Structure 1
């Protein structure tokens, strides 16, 4: 369906692709992987003809429809979320727009003298809308939006009033409703909660078109894809199988390449040693010459490329008292919506509590109550003795000073720290060399999240309160964070939609329900086994 034929592409001085080839066949579900900046977005732009390769060609079979979802959703306003999603559905969307205009015209007193012709036209357009399956389409649009977490009220409200994250869900809904021959999805799992993520997983598993997607969520990727295309040093390498198979295969390939490289290096060293030893002897001149020629003809084996591995270790935090946080009779409402009524909850030292609950259940509110950024309407939230809290909130990334560099931001936060320790901290979170001189205003979402985390974790708290800490993080940073938090000796209270993160770090689950908080010992994996569901309200 789509072929990339020996493509080469430069971005300024930087070579992104060099004579790279790959193909996307009918029915394939492909994960596109590679480090940040490897060229994943460039590849999407070339397939959608927003960009051209410098050499080679991108070949697309005639008549193939392509739907492309990217993080850059553009402006949306003036229509309902349902209308916006339906607007991506081709001719039926244009007919729906005319139908809406005619409905308005029929109710307009100033157009009363044209009412007969408007009604006649309305009948024609309505028949056309019905023929195109328009009424069924609206039902499907609502189904898609419901799956992505929208309430009826949000579906029928102006899309312009929605936050950036919800607008992204609308943009994603457009592509899903369109059901093109090929879907290109760039990070569709960002901005989704656990319930929406699992719904999307099931939708894509049942989609019969071809799919090419990127995602930093390994569980999501693993359940959908049957092939991986890896961007590696300008090449495109294909692997049949899911993400787990790709990781195993890549590790095996690197091991074999390293062994080949070492064998060749040993052989070369032996040959060079012989030449050095006998080059001055006339009796060995022919042998020396023969070996020199042999060395010139040998194809050199390259060592495997060393991938940057991030590592951060928590300095030991001071020990807190046994009771870390205590909720007693807490009430919390927003307007007429009651979130908590008489909540009693105890968080003890050493617990790693993950919070689950359907959209709007009050997960972030619970964290804000603990952090003190929101006050209860009644009751008390008491923080225990010797508790030093670190709170990671989504809005923290917006509070970074854009006119400071990464290094200046760290220096301002820790004026007494020596430069070496701050550089080591920055390196542990993926800012090495000149990168620490980048200004905060030019940082990506992932880079901002890493910087906020570095600020929070340098002077270690003994109680971590984390609201979606893995949003925007790539897989390498996520793995580093899981490893570091796995060795952390303090207490944790967190919300995450990443099942790998939940399973690796939780030892207690707090599920928020309308009847109150249900508690499960043993962490997320045990919760799934006991309830038969991966998220509240969704059955496995």
Structure 2
């Protein structure tokens, strides 16, 4: 359906693609992977025609419709959420708009002279609208929005009042409702809670068209894609299989290439040693010359391109008392809405609680109560002796000093630390090379999250309270974070929509339901096994 044939692309001084080729066939579901800045967004823009390659060809089959979801959602205001979504549904929305205009014209007494032509046109447009299943469009729009966790009130409310994250969901809903022949989705899993993520997973599995997507959620990617296209060093390499197969195959290829490189280097060293040893001897002149010519003709094997991932040894957390946090008979309301009535809950040392519940169940409120950023209306919240608390919340990113660079911020936070240690810390969280000189004000949401997390873990508390710590983190950084927290000796209480993070790190689970709270002793894995669902109210 879409073919890229020997494309070349350069952005300023950066060479993005060199004679790169790949194809997306009918019905294929492919993942697009590569390091940050490798050119994933550039590739999407070339496939939609927003950018042209400098060399080569991007060919799309005649009549193919493309829906492209990007993180740049543009302005939205002045109409309801459902109307905004329906407006993006492609040809059917254009036909629907004309149908509404004709209905208005038919009711206009000043246009009686045009009535015959208007009636004839109305019949044509109505037939086309029915052909495109237009009368089911509104119902499908509500269905998609409900799947993405919009309440009825939000669907009918002004889209302009939504936060940036919810507007992202509106933009995604527009593409899903459009149901194009090809979907290009750039990080569709960002800003989604677990329930919405699982709904989207099922939607995309049942989607008949071709799909190319990026995602920082490996479980989500692994369950949908059957092919992976990797961008690395200006080339496109295609792997048949899911994301887990891609990782295995890439590691195997790297291992084989490294072995081949080392064998060739050993051979070259041997030949060069012979040449150096005998080049001054006339009796060996012919042999030396023969070997020099042989070396000139050998095609050099390159060492494998290694993804930069910096390991960092985090300090052990100081020991706390056995009772870390206790909530007794806690009541909490927001206006007329009751969140908790008589909540009793305890956190003990070394427990790792993940908190689950549908939107509005009170997950973030619980974390705020425990950290003291919200007060109960009644009851008590007690944090135990020797507890050193670290709280990662989304608003923590707004507290960074925009005038400082990443490295200056780390230095200001840890004035006694050595430069080498802080650079290693920055590298472990994805700030390598010149990235440490970026000012905090220009950092993306993901970069800000990584910096806040780095500062929290450099001198770790013994009680970590984390509200969606994996938002915006790429797969490599998530893996590093999971590795670091797996060996963390302290206590954790967290909310996350990343199933790998949940399964790897929780050993207790608290589920908030309208009927009350339910506790599970084996963490997220036991919760899935016992309930048969991956999120509250959803079957796996």
Say whether the 8 Å CA contact 2:312–2:424 is kept in structure 1. no
The residue that corresponds to 1:361 in the other structure is: 361
1:98-247 residue pairs with structure 2 within 5 A?
129-130=129-130, 132-247=132-247
The yes-or-no answer on 1:421 pairing with 2:429 is no
Q: Deviations over 1:144-168 (max 9, x none)?
A: 1111111111111111111111111
Q: Deviations over 1:192-235 (max 9, x none)?
A: 00010000000000011000000011100001001000001110
CA distance in 1, matches of 2:499, 2:91: 39
The residue that corresponds to 2:55 in the other structure is: 55
The residue that corresponds to 1:349 in the other structure is: 349
CA distance in 2, matches of 1:308, 1:477: 11
For residue 94 of structure 1, report the CA deviation from its aligned partner: 3.2
The residue that corresponds to 2:75 in the other structure is: 75
CA distance in 2, matches of 1:74, 1:52: 22
Q: Helix, strand or coil: the match of 1:62?
A: coil
CA distance in 1, matches of 2:113, 2:516: 58
**Alpha-carbon spacing, 1:343–1:114, altered in 2? closer, same or farther (3 Å):** farther
Moved more, 392-401 or 126-135: 126-135
CA distance in 2, matches of 1:172, 1:365: 28
Q: Deviations over 1:286-321 (max 9, x none)?
A: 111101100000000011112111323321221111
CA distance in 1, matches of 2:381, 2:100: 51
Say whether the 8 Å CA contact 2:29–2:211 is kept in structure 1. yes
Moved more, 56-65 or 311-320: 311-320
Q: Helix, strand or coil: the match of 1:512?
A: strand
For residue 334 of structure 1, report the CA deviation from its aligned partner: 1.6
For residue 130 of structure 1, report the CA deviation from its aligned partner: 4.7
For residue 447 of structure 1, report the CA deviation from its aligned partner: 1.1
CA distance in 2, matches of 1:399, 1:263: 53
The residue that corresponds to 1:3 in the other structure is: 3
Q: Helix, strand or coil: the match of 1:142?
A: helix
Moved more, 241-250 or 452-461: 452-461
The residue that corresponds to 1:536 in the other structure is: 536
**Alpha-carbon spacing, 1:127–1:158, altered in 2? closer, same or farther (3 Å):** farther
The residue that corresponds to 1:515 in the other structure is: 515
For residue 490 of structure 1, report the CA deviation from its aligned partner: 0.3
**Alpha-carbon spacing, 1:176–1:291, altered in 2? closer, same or farther (3 Å):** same
The residue that corresponds to 2:487 in the other structure is: 487
Say whether the 8 Å CA contact 2:6–2:56 is kept in structure 1. yes
CA distance in 2, matches of 1:361, 1:117: 56
**Alpha-carbon spacing, 1:252–1:75, altered in 2? closer, same or farther (3 Å):** same
**Alpha-carbon spacing, 1:280–1:463, altered in 2? closer, same or farther (3 Å):** same
**Alpha-carbon spacing, 1:396–1:99, altered in 2? closer, same or farther (3 Å):** farther
CA distance in 1, matches of 2:51, 2:386: 56
For residue 528 of structure 1, report the CA deviation from its aligned partner: 0.5
For residue 418 of structure 1, report the CA deviation from its aligned partner: 3.4
Q: Helix, strand or coil: the match of 1:415?
A: coil
Say whether the 8 Å CA contact 1:225–1:243 is kept in structure 2. yes
Q: Helix, strand or coil: the match of 1:47?
A: helix
For residue 131 of structure 1, report the CA deviation from its aligned partner: 5.3
Say whether the 8 Å CA contact 1:311–1:429 is kept in structure 2. no
Q: Helix, strand or coil: the match of 2:7?
A: strand
Say whether the 8 Å CA contact 1:508–1:519 is kept in structure 2. yes
Say whether the 8 Å CA contact 1:312–1:429 is kept in structure 2. no
For residue 100 of structure 1, report the CA deviation from its aligned partner: 5.9
Q: Helix, strand or coil: the match of 1:160?
A: helix
The residue that corresponds to 1:444 in the other structure is: 444
The residue that corresponds to 1:468 in the other structure is: 468
Moved more, 389-398 or 85-94: 85-94
For residue 416 of structure 1, report the CA deviation from its aligned partner: 3.4
Say whether the 8 Å CA contact 2:402–2:439 is kept in structure 1. yes
The residue that corresponds to 2:278 in the other structure is: 278
Q: Deviations over 1:268-298 (max 9, x none)?
A: 1111111111111111111111011000000
Say whether the 8 Å CA contact 1:310–1:476 is kept in structure 2. no
Q: Deviations over 1:437-458 (max 9, x none)?
A: 1111221222111101112112
The residue that corresponds to 2:299 in the other structure is: 299
Q: Helix, strand or coil: the match of 1:249?
A: helix
CA distance in 2, matches of 1:400, 1:116: 66
CA distance in 1, matches of 2:110, 2:296: 92
The residue that corresponds to 1:258 in the other structure is: 258
For residue 102 of structure 1, report the CA deviation from its aligned partner: 8.0
CA distance in 1, matches of 2:498, 2:6: 36
For residue 135 of structure 1, report the CA deviation from its aligned partner: 2.5
**Alpha-carbon spacing, 1:89–1:276, altered in 2? closer, same or farther (3 Å):** same
Say whether the 8 Å CA contact 1:311–1:484 is kept in structure 2. no
Across the aligned residues of Structure 1 and Structure 2, the Cα RMSD in angstroms comes to 2.2
For residue 516 of structure 1, report the CA deviation from its aligned partner: 1.6
Q: TM-score, normalised by structure 2?
A: 0.95
For residue 242 of structure 1, report the CA deviation from its aligned partner: 0.3
CA distance in 2, matches of 1:186, 1:433: 26
**Alpha-carbon spacing, 1:100–1:376, altered in 2? closer, same or farther (3 Å):** farther
The residue that corresponds to 2:502 in the other structure is: 502
CA distance in 2, matches of 1:156, 1:115: 34
Say whether the 8 Å CA contact 2:309–2:427 is kept in structure 1. no
For residue 96 of structure 1, report the CA deviation from its aligned partner: 3.9
Say whether the 8 Å CA contact 2:31–2:229 is kept in structure 1. yes
The residue that corresponds to 1:23 in the other structure is: 23
Say whether the 8 Å CA contact 2:310–2:424 is kept in structure 1. no
The residue that corresponds to 2:373 in the other structure is: 373
Q: Unpaired segments of 5 or more residues in structure 2?
A: none
CA distance in 2, matches of 1:336, 1:103: 43
CA distance in 2, matches of 1:230, 1:43: 11
